[in-house]
Amino acid sequence: MMDTNLGNGMVNVTGDIQAQHEGVSQYFGLRSNAGGFNNLTLQITEHSFSSMEEDDFSFSIRMVGDEGPFDLELGEYEIGQDSDSDALLIVSYINRTISDETITYGTSPNSTGTVTILSVSSTTIEATFDVNLDVDVTSDEGTVNITGELEAQCVTAATGTGC
């Protein structure tokens, strides 16, 4: 049976490693009773969230309310603490296909870049991204630049509960 609740995304990686990925894009949102999101994760993976298969790559954008719920508005968000919004932006990229071991890049104090929210509905979020991430958040031993786009579908939209 085909899952029609799947978005799509594209990830281009340069720097320490070179990779191009296309995959399934979904989002998970935890809303507060007062409105807005407490936590929102946009994700691109090889297989859908409900799949039992292991993903060769994963790219995620996590937004967390700094001082309570935040409204997801159209526009540009800076990695780390964005002074223009109430959300903390954390980004990670995991690659299991380059070597025998899993390589993880993530937000560090030296990370830079932006995520631009292009559209938001109750079932879909469209965004582009251009971020620089470090291989180990405690060191400067490796960096990648990740660019791409996604059209993420709400994971719970199929149940009628919305996101």
Q: Specify the 3-state DSSP secondary structure of 150.
A: strand
Tell me how far apart the alpha carbons of residues 19 and 51 are, in angstroms, rounded to a whole number: 23
Q: What pLDDT was estimated at residue 96?
A: 81
pLDDT (tens digit, 9 = 90+) per residue, 102-114?
788 888 888 899 9
pLDDT (tens digit, 9 = 90+) per residue, 119-157?
998 889 999 999 999 886 555 568 999 999 999 998 874
**pTM of the predicted model as reported, rounded to 2 decimal places:** 0.86
In eight-state DSSP terms, residue 158 is: G
Mean pLDDT of 52-72: 85
- Count CB-CB contacts under 10 A for residue 126: 19
Inter-residue contact 143 to 16 (CB < 8 Å): yes
Cα–Cα nearest to 91, from 102, 101, 99, 82: 82
Q: Which residues contact 139 (CB under 8 A, 6 or more apart)?
A: none
Q: What pLDDT was estimated at residue 77?
A: 92
